Chain A
Amino acid sequence: MAEAEEQETGSLEESTDESEEEESEEEPKLKYERLSNGVTEILQKDAASCMTVHDKFLALGTHYGKVYLLDVQGNITQKFDVSPVKINQISLDESGEHMGVCSEDGKVQVFGLYSGEEFHETFDCPIKIIAVHPHFVRSSCKQFVTGGKKLLLFERSWMNRWKSAVLHEGEGNIRSVKWRGHLIAWANNMGVKIFDIISKQRITNVPRDDISLRPDMYPCSLCWKDNVTLIIGWGTSVKVCSVKERHASEMRDLPSRYVEIVSQFETEFYISGLAPLCDQLVVLSYVKEISEKTEREYCARPRLDIIQPLSETCEEISSDALTVRGFQENECRDYHLEYSEGESLFYIVSPRDVVVAKERDQDDHIDWLLEKKKYEEALMAAEISQKNIKRHKILDIGLAYINHLVERGDYDIAARKCQKILGKNAALWEYEVYKFKEIGQLKAISPYLPRGDPVLKPLIYEMILHEFLESDYEGFATLIREWPGDLYNNSVIVQAVRDHLKKDSQNKTLLKTLAELYTYDKNYGNALEIYLTLRHKDVFQLIHKHNLFSSIKDKIVLLMDFDSEKAVDMLLDNEDKISIKKVVEELEDRPELQHVYLHKLFKRDHHKGQRYHEKQISLYAEYDRPNLLPFLRDSTHCPLEKALEICQQRNFVEETVYLLSRMGNSRSALKMIMEELHDVDKAIEFAKEQDDGELWEDLILYSIDKPPFITGLLNNIGTHVDPILLIHRIKEGMEIPNLRDSLVKILQDYNLQILLREGCKKILVADSLSLLKKMHRTQMKGVLVDEENICESCLSPILPSDAAKPFSVVVFHCRHMFHKECLPMPSMNSAAQFCNICSAKNRGPGSAILEMKK
């Protein structure tokens, strides 16, 4: 006994075989808990002999003949002193208000827990079993069965007296009974029988398999899975029996129900108890093992298995060996498995111990996962069943997970998990950050740190920044770029960066980061300076973004030096903020930049910078000759004299020519072309443009002593000036290159022109002829004169109402009609008369008179 008590502190449950333990990482299905409190107290002096479970309470019977009502925690709520000796069975009805008790000394009591005793008798043999009607609370169901040597059914008659009837006897002691609905199942030495209380008929007999086992040592376990399914466990055999209705055609004089064994299989160990668990079975097994040392049989720990019954075999789902107190002393019959149907609670009753097996809930599942260090799964499980878990908190699991990862050295994963697990809890974040600091892994956590909602103490961020500053400028820069500037104390970091710059003043990364810090601090001046020294492209963006135009006024030169294109674009885009005047002034010392600026300005708008156009002439001349001429052409504001002066000074012929011609001095211009450029084509071109006879004259005059010019002229002027003029002037004996070719060309041109003219003439004549013919045809057409027509002069109908009356009508080719009388008398000198209307309009295609006479 002492040995048994020692084990009290030990773990209750251990997985079965060691080999199994190693190979399977499977989670147990059940968890175990010792029923304590009152039960512990009771079992110190007494021993449990039987127990019955109701939804709300437990009834425990002992070897000393007591029945205790217990709550589910094992606290005693009531005690009944039933007998001096062992209580064999307690039966409760479904309401839990009536209890039947039987004991070894033959006592049977059936009474209401609240309504008083109803039946009390002592028999001459031990009464092993009792079962009250499940609905005993109803007055029509005041029935119970007891069993010793015989199975007796007690019924209360209408006179309130108990009548008994023997249901069965003669096959040894009745040792198990279970009443469900209207079926009573019991077991005696020979087998299991089922009695139908309604038809009062025994409907089956399931014989015992292994009759070598002592029925008192290895009693039969019965349990009803539902109203028609009985599970029998006896020795090592399990049978699942189904009660079925007999078909009417097969009825004859047989009972209306019969039993079919739907599943039958053997178990490894002796069965001490059975309970259903959904479609599976919970089996309490009694295990005997042979000691290796003494080679003697001894009682091992009982097992609680969950098995899946198949038709002829079973599948083990889980198997746990239970260290119940004093298991070494127990026999198969000392164990009982009781269960609460609603809650999946299983009570393993043994003389010295009552253990509750529960289905593992989510909390237990998480426990197990944590134990197996499956944190990720635990976390997931906790999240999924957030509402159902009571003991665990997601956060705690998460923290444990982080710790675990950190211990394993997976700093990055740990840090990443922080994000999810710590969420918005700033305090926890800070705690974790310190932890990471301790292990020197601040960097790992840095990318995951919250950057707003929540915001941690600036100190935390500064700590991390310092850490990076010491070892990783790039990382530092990245953080500065990524973190909102208000997370940390800017000046502290600026100071730190400066300190580092003292050591490494040219470090671009640091400088850039410092510039960013300055920018954040709105210290744009400093920021700009750094950017400019770094020649960083961000500078324009910076200016733009922060509207720093006021602070760049004095830095225009620097900007231009850095990137004149962009600088000019920016300046021009923000002309309203930095005036043109200001820019020009600033760039006074750097005319080349000034030019770039003004050039662009001019390109954008020919008029904006008009006051600088004069200045620009010299700038163009100096720095950008190719653009001078376009400028001069496009600008309407530049003083031509000044320009001419500059161009002449610099001997810019083309520009000068342009200016001269623009100033109306075409002759000088032409002269310049010829004298300075010696370009006859250009001169001809110029002359063509001006289309001035005098100019041609000048050109010819000028060219006359220059044979190449003459060639050029001969070749080109044909269409503008009569070449004869030129040819006449060619001096005798002058040698002109390619004269023959030029003359041939002129003559050919001439021929061509004559041909052209002749062709035109032919076409014209043909056209005239066809038109004349057409006119003839038209004039030959008749003209209808009827009542509709009116005299255009008097506007009365042209035909007289009296047809007999003689009349004269004049119809012109233009279809206008007149009474002859209405027309003026034809004058003497012109024989022809004309239509008044058409001649008035001074239009008259064929206004010859067409006279009609009747």
Chain B
Amino acid sequence: MEAIWLYQFRLIVIGDSTVGKSCLIRRFTEGRFAQVSDPTVGVDFFSRLVEIEPGKRIKLQIWDTAGQERFRSITRAYYRNSVGGLLLFDITNRRSFQNVHEWLEETKVHVQPYQIVFVLVGHKCDLDTQRQVTRHEAEKLAAAYGMKYIETSARDAINVEKAFTDLTRDIYELVKRGEITIQEGWEGVKSGFVPNVVHSSEEVVKSERRCLC
């Protein structure tokens, strides 16, 4: 049986390839760091429970997307059903920072009519000596888009927990305030009060009928 949770948030991690999306998620969900890994293909997802307040647990479903997606248009489905997102760039790779704008633009196009709460993540902060993007610049950009900025390192486990929990907390606030609502056909936020493990037989019949019409 699943652990009891209040809400399930679906988060998406985007950004140029090789910025370390998968590593960040792995560090967060599995607590480990893989030195070498194959580039992600398609989309993968992981989940983890986060306790934001004592007794209030949120289930995070985190989608890892491929930085180089062949059917980029298809990833639209993943954006659309997410409530929050981590927009990653590599602080040692200026180009990945410059592309942040592109990623945001693409997200906006696909996410309509919903919206995603983003946090800008400057990754690989352990490699400070090779830094190409200053914290200042990044903060400025984040402010311009109305996002938070955080610098993380999956290898050294810096700010990984914080990045996810902060984002979760922000979303939770919005949900509590009713700015984000649970909607049918949208999987960004799901309430944990209704267990969706097994549908009752009644419901099955109903939905089946509707389907046949």
Contacts and interface: CB of A to CB of B under 8 A. Distances in A.
B10 to A, nearest CB: 9
Nearest to A120: B199
Interface in A685-716: none
Where chain A touches its partner, the secondary structure class is loop
Interface stretch (A121-129, A337-345, A424-432): A121-129
B144 interface: no
A214 interface: yes
A104 interface: yes
B36 interface: no
Contacts of A217: 38, 41
Contact of B77 (A85, A111, A120): A85
Interface stretch (B18-26, B44-52, B125-133, B149-157): B44-52
Interface in B1-58: 38, 41-47
Contacts of A80: 211
Contact of B78 (A85, A117, A122, A331): A85
Contacts of B80: 84
A158 to B, nearest CB: 16
A120 B198 contact: yes
A351 B70 CA distance: 11
A329 B73 CA distance: 14
The CB with the most chain A CB atoms within 10 A, among B45, B77, B198, is that of B77
Interface stretch (B83-91, B159-167, B172-180, B201-209): B201-209
Interface residues of B, number: 26
Contacts of A273: none
Contacts of B71: 47, 63, 329, 351
A298 interface: no
A117 B207 contact: yes
Contact of B196 (A64, A86, A122, A351): A122
B200 to A, nearest CB: 11
Contact of B61 (A63, A111, A124, A216): A124
A162 interface: yes
A118 B74 CA distance: 29
Contacts of A118: 204
A333 B38 CA distance: 15
A84 B45 contact: no
Interface string A33-77: 000000000000011000000000000000111000000000000
A117 B198 CA distance: 11
B208 A125 contact: no
A106 interface: yes
A105 B61 CA distance: 9
A331 B208 CA distance: 36
Contacts of A120: 198-199, 204
28 contacts: A47-B71, A47-B74, A63-B71, A64-B74, A84-B80, A85-B43, A85-B78, A86-B42, A86-B74, A104-B42, A104-B45, A105-B61, A116-B205, A117-B207, A118-B204, A120-B199, A120-B204, A121-B197, A122-B196, A125-B45, A125-B46, A125-B47, A126-B43, A126-B44, A162-B198, A217-B38, A331-B41, A351-B71
Interface of A: 46-47, 63-65, 80, 84-86, 104-106, 111, 116-122, 124-126, 161-162, 214, 216-217, 329, 331, 333, 351
Query: Top 7 A-B pairs ranked by shortest CB distance?
Result: A124-B47, A117-B204, A63-B74, A116-B208, A84-B77, A84-B81, A85-B77
Interface of B: 38, 41-47, 61, 70-71, 74, 77-78, 80-81, 187, 196-199, 204-205, 207-208, 211
